[in-house]
């Protein structure tokens, strides 16, 4: 499977797996099988007949496959429309469920917008929010979290792998401090599922967000896993027919769920080989890019994911760099989070000024990335940077003349 182009995928180098990833043909086959199943179209809630039972069995299998990767409980897995909804449900639903303890939530300034905006929404309801600032490597310490915990703190949200920099937070150490203080820990693990070991029990994660489309599964499906030892319910965001114990009603999208299950089954089976392969490719990429002067690695040099590498380039303009690199699919420092072309708040949080934050490129690797893709990206990047610097030097010389 590895090193093989996805059938039907356009030509061109794709290094934007942190935005989304191509559907694995094996996942697609599972989804088609589920959709073609003569009984499987049933409503999983209709447990009184064979159609509903067939669909329900598919959902139960998928829940085991997803929970299996993270040592979660398949009975306490809530299907959602994706990680955005899971993050919202965890933060708003988790905090509201525990509001008896107090109305204070802690997050990190470099979290995904789905977390930060959910915190903003709580703030509008009168909650108090502490936003922790990471160090220049993008890391926060367990001590920083412990120091921010108050008597009225309900929930802490810290992502495992940052989607813009690839930096890995020490969730186990943070989880220990949260558990000792009786505070819920929510972790957005979208970018770490299948790239790093994840164990909700040993890492003391109470609420865990994952989705399918960042790991070669379908878009529009995610899950929130609840830790049975600490939290068995959250307040719902949606109200309806009472499905999923009322936490997230609505008829379950069985084919999407089957796809997510298969995507996670594949991660469990292939992680051991895939992570070293991606790590080698990422190192190959960095050794190529770092040949150029003025290229800075964003985030901690060692404590990082195998699949994300973000660099900033001095002496070139972000807009021109983006244009020069248009033939390779990557994300630039101003396009990470929104349609508005504002410099990335994550890179700003690492201490970059606007110019440097804008002149940043995120390369993100995945299942179908090859060594040839990496070489092509290094070539394109080198050509672009040398060209832009030459143009800038000529411009400066003619201005001086």
Ligand X SMILES: *Cc1c(COP(=O)(O)O)cnc(C)c1O
> Catalytic amino acids?
336
> Is 218 in contact with 23 (CB distance < 8 Å)?
yes
Closest-approach residue to ligand X (CB): 82
User: Which among 150, 148, 153 is positioned nearest to 109, based on CA atoms?
Assistant: 148
> Is 256:212 a contact under the CB 8 Å cutoff?
yes
In whole angstroms, give the CA distance from residue 170 to residue 297. Answer: 20
Helix (H) or strand (E) holding 364: strand 360-364
Tokens of 381: 């990047």
CA distance 28 to 88: 28
The nearest distance, CB 263 to ligand X, in angstroms, is: 12
Of the pair 112, 322, the CB lying nearest ligand X is at 112
Question: CB of residue 114 vs ligand X: minimum separation in angstroms?
Answer: 5
| Residue placing its CB nearer to ligand X in the complex, 164 or 206 | 164
Shortest spacing between CB 54 and ligand X, in angstroms = 27
Cβ atoms 206, 230 nearer than 8 A: yes
* Least gap, CB of 143 to ligand X (angstroms): 24
User: 140 burial class (0-12, 13-18, 19+ CB within 10 angstroms)?
Assistant: buried
Instruction: Tell me the C-alpha to C-alpha distance, in Å, between residue 138 and each of 163, 298, 343, 347, 352.
Output: 12, 8, 16, 9, 12
Q: Are 299 and 350 in contact (CB under 8 A)?
A: yes
Which residues lie closer than 8 Å to 204 by C-beta, 6 or more apart? Answer: 172, 175, 176, 178, 179, 185
Q: Which is nearer to ligand X, 159 or 203 (CB)?
A: 159
Nearer to ligand X, 112 or 195 (CB): 112
Q: Which C-beta is closer to ligand X: that of 63 or that of 193?
A: 193
Could you tell me the two tokens for 149? 């915990």
Q: How far is the CB of 2 from ligand X (least distance, A)?
A: 23
Angle between the 254-289 and 371-400 helix axes, to the nearest 10 degrees? Answer: 50
Q: Which is nearer to ligand X, 112 or 352 (CB)?
A: 112
Separation of alpha carbons 79 and 253, rounded Å: 9
Shortest reach from residue 385's CB to ligand X, in Å: 27
Q: Which of 10, 329, 354 is nearest to 344 (CA)?
A: 354
207-211 and 222-226 strand pairing: antiparallel
Residue 116: phi, psi to the nearest 5? -65, -40
Give pairs for 380-383: CB < 8 Å, separation 24+. 380/13, 380/325, 380/327, 380/328, 381/288, 381/289, 381/292, 381/325, 381/328, 382/288, 382/289, 382/291, 382/292, 383/324
CB of 38 to ligand X, least distance (A): 31
Closer CB to ligand X, residue 190 or residue 203? Answer: 190
In the bound state with ligand X, the residue whose beta carbon lies nearer, of 163 and 385, is: 163
Catalog residues that contact ligand X under the rule CB under 6 A.
Answer: 18, 82-84, 87, 112, 114, 159, 163, 188, 190-191, 211, 213-214, 222
């Amino acid at each position: 499977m590895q090193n093989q182009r996805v059938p039907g995928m356009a030509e061109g180098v794709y290094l934007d797996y942190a935005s989304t990833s191509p559907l694995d043909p094996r996942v697609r086959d599972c989804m088609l099988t589920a959709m073609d199943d003569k009984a499987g179209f049933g409503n999983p809630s209709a447990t009184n007949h064979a159609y509903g039972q067939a669909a329900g069995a598919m959902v139960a299998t998928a829940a085991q496959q997803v929970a299996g990767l993270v040592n979660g409980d398949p009975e306490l897995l809530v299907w959602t429309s994706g990680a955005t909804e899971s993050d919202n449900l965890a933060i708003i639903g988790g905090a509201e469920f525990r509001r008896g303890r107090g109305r204070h939530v802690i997050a990190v300034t470099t979290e995904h917008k789905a977390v930060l905006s959910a915190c903003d929404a709580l703030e509008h309801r009168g909650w108090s929010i502490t936003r922790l600032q990471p160090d220049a490597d993008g890391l926060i310490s367990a001590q920083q979290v412990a120091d921010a915990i108050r008597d009225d703190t309900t929930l802490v949200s810290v992502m495992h792998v940052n989607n813009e920099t690839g930096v890995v937070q020490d969730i186990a150490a943070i989880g220990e401090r949260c558990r000792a203080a009786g505070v819920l820990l929510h972790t957005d693990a979208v970018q770490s599922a299948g790239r790093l070991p994840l164990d909700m029990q040993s890492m003391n994660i109470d609420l865990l967000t994952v989705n399918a489309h960042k790991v070669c599964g379908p878009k529009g499906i995610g899950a929130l896993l609840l830790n049975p030892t600490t939290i068995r319910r959250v307040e719902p965001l949606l109200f309806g027919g009472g499905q999923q114990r009322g936490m997230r009603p609505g008829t379950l999208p069985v084919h999407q769920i089957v796809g997510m299950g298969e995507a996670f089954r594949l991660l469990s089976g292939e992680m051991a080989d895939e992570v070293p392969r991606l790590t080698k490719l990422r190192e190959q990429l960095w050794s190529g890019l770092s040949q150029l002067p003025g290229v800075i690695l964003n985030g901690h040099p060692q404590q990082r994911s195998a699949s994300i590498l973000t660099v900033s380039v001095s002496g070139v303009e972000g807009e021109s760099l983006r244009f020069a690199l248009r033939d390779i699919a990557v994300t630039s420092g101003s396009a990470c989070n929104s349609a508005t072309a504002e410099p990335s708040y994550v890179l700003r949080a690492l201490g970059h000024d606007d110019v440097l934050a804008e002149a940043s490129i995120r390369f993100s690797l995945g299942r179908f990335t090859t060594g040839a893709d990496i070489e092509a990206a290094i070539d394109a990047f080198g050509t672009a940077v040398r060209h832009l610097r030459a143009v800038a030097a000529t411009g400066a010389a003619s201005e001086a003349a």
